[in-house]
Every structure is written in C-alpha cells, then in structure tokens.
Homo-oligomer: A and B are copies of this chain.
C-alpha cells in the first residue's frame, strides 16, 4: 500500500529539502500562514520551483511543519512527566507550550483555523494521551481540581495563543491567572461542559 518508497535522493536534493524546511520554519513562525513562498525560497537560497518540487503546495509545506510542531509538543509533555512534582509537571508543560506559541505565529493559526487537523495530529503523535496522563497524575496527587480533562490543556494553549499578537498583554500573566483557576482549593464554580 505504501506509495512513499525510500528511493535514494540525490545529494543536492536532500540538502535543498533541509534548507527549505529550515527557511520555512523561520518564515512561517514570523508571518504565519500569510508567509509567501517567494520569501521561503529566497531565505533557503533556492528558486521557487525547487520549493514546489519538494512540497507540491503551500498547504503541504505548512502541514509538514505543523506535524513537526506537534512532535515537539509531545516531547515537552514527555519531559514534563519526568518531573517528580505533579503540579510542577503540569505547569512546566503549559509554560513550554505557551512559550512555543508565543514565538511561532503559525502554531497559533493551526490551533485556531484547523481544529480538526489539530485534534487528529495530537492523537497521532501521542500528545492526547500524554496530556491525559499529566492531568490524571496531578489529580491523583490532589494538586489539580478533579473536573479538568486532558483536553483542557489544549484549550488553554489555544486561548493563550493569540495573546502574543497584542504587545500590551502577556501570556505569562494570563497563564498565571489560569493556573490559579486550576488549583483544587479555594472557592470555585462548577465548570460548564
């Protein structure tokens, strides 16, 4: 079934592919999905045609990068699980994820504009499961309110995502408020579905 055979590419092709990915990562992080293919090509020191040979469409390039990002998020979650203190591990993960959002405009846009794609990708790279585990561990230790679900971590990231765009506000401050809302103690309302 697999159409993508591992045919050996020519050396220059492989080199260019890497250059394109590196350039695209930079340009998309800066300009979001509005970034232009010409700019990517220019930064990769390559013609536009070359970009299109490696990625048939702008959307394809964008997705390739997005999958990368989710893998990185999954790695963050993995590392966070290593932290002994369960609360710290949730906080650390959220901080890293949010910082990543803040430095990458494209990531926020994926979260906002491609909800279904995002859910699928998070599932595939194990991020969904890792999120659940992070949450359950903290709840078992009694340091996280019981009515939080793993998917709430994604929701929180998404909501912090676009704060980076407005210089007046800081996602760090917002995250602090949200974190206090996640604690098990204190007067609390009942969360809506």
Interface residues in chain A, defined as those with a beta carbon under 8 Å from any beta carbon in chain B: 111-113, 115, 118-119, 151-152, 154-156, 158-163, 165-170, 172-174, 176-183, 185-193
A191 lies within 8 A of B176 (CB): yes
Chain B minimum-CB-distance residue to A91: B189
> In whole Å, how far is A61's beta carbon from the nearest beta carbon of chain B?
21
A155 lies within 8 A of B181 (CB): no
> In whole Å, how far is A128's beta carbon from the nearest beta carbon of chain B?
11
Chain B minimum-CB-distance residue to A155: B169
B186 lies within 8 A of A174 (CB): no
B187 lies within 8 A of A187 (CB): no
> In whole Å, how far is A131's beta carbon from the nearest beta carbon of chain B?
13
> In whole Å, how far is A41's beta carbon from the nearest beta carbon of chain B?
25
A52 to B113, CA, bound (A): 30
With a CB–CB cut-off of 8 A, which chain B residues contact A115?
A: 165-168
Query: 10 nearest interchain CB pairs?
Result: A186-B186, A181-B181, A115-B166, A180-B181, A177-B181, A172-B192, A155-B169, A159-B159, A112-B162, A176-B191
B159 lies within 8 A of A160 (CB): yes
With a CB–CB cut-off of 8 A, which chain B residues contact A179?
A: 181, 189
> In whole Å, how far is A119's beta carbon from the nearest beta carbon of chain B?
6
